[in-house]
Structure 1
Amino acid sequence: MPSANQATTPVAVDIPQLRGRYAPVGDYTVAFELFPQDVDPAPFYAGLPDDRCQCPHWGFVTTGEVTFRWKDHSETYRAGDAYYAPPGHLPLITSGTSVVEFSPSVDLDHTMAVIEANLARAGAGA
């Protein structure tokens, strides 16, 4: 059975706002993400439908707090909470937050391509 380990998954993104490790697990990608500072990444979703993340995520907050914003409401999750974030959201993350998240790889790859292009344009490449 496929698995991933945070300690042995290489760091793929290491920028001031995010240290991320990503590993394929079947048709999903597991993300081990740490956010050393407050982050509102909304500008980096520009170019996706409605300029919002269209990838669903299932996750667990190990430390800190993450808020998902949709057009009509927001939901906040704190350390110890498991969550499901359906498409159409924008995250807002507080400093010191760490999550483990599972996302369909095909959807995540498309989303990450847009985010990486926006980061590069902003001079903050991943």
Structure 2
Amino acid sequence: MTATTWDETPVALEGDGVEVRKQEIGGGMSVMYMRAAEGTDFAPSLKGLPGDLCQCPHWGYLTKGRLRMRTDGGEETYEAGQAFYWAPGHAPEALEDVEFLDFSPTKELDEVIAHITAQAG
């Protein structure tokens, strides 16, 4: 069993108002802590993935702010205090400064982080 806090979790991605911290916690799953500044739209950095959308599922809890999640089926808004499940095929946009933590399959999460990092490079 592995436990980690925000401060103990290594930075996986940082820049342009975004901070992503990720730690594998076992069972093929990772915990991800994320902060994103108001106006951050992940859609451009997801271009090139299937459907130009994140293909990693996420289970988590939004601790601060509001975000819009766009999918092929439409969009939904999430607010601080809500638990969520985001199925593969989504692109988030921060409507306010947001913070959340989620649990995701490590392999899929690593693929998305590598793609976003390559897009930024």
TM-score for both structures, normalised by structure 1: 0.87
Map of 2:7 onto structure 1: 7
Map of 2:50 onto structure 1: 49
Unaligned runs of 5+ in 2: none
Counterpart CA distance in 2 for 1:101 and 1:37 is: 19
SS in structure 2 at match of 1:31 = strand
Task: For 1:17, give the aligned amino acid.
Answer: G
Task: For 2:9, give the aligned amino acid.
Answer: T
| TM-fit CA distance, 1:94 | 2.5
Counterpart CA distance in 2 for 1:36 and 1:46 is: 20
| TM-fit CA distance, 1:64 | 0.1
TM-score for both structures, normalised by structure 2: 0.91
Unaligned runs of 5+ in 1: 121-126
Counterpart CA distance in 1 for 2:43 and 2:49 is: 11
Paired residues, number:
120
Q: Is the CA contact 1:16–1:37 (under 8 Å) kept in the aligned structure 2?
A: no
Map of 1:115 onto structure 2: 116
Map of 2:41 onto structure 1: 40
Task: For 1:37, give the aligned amino acid.
Answer: E
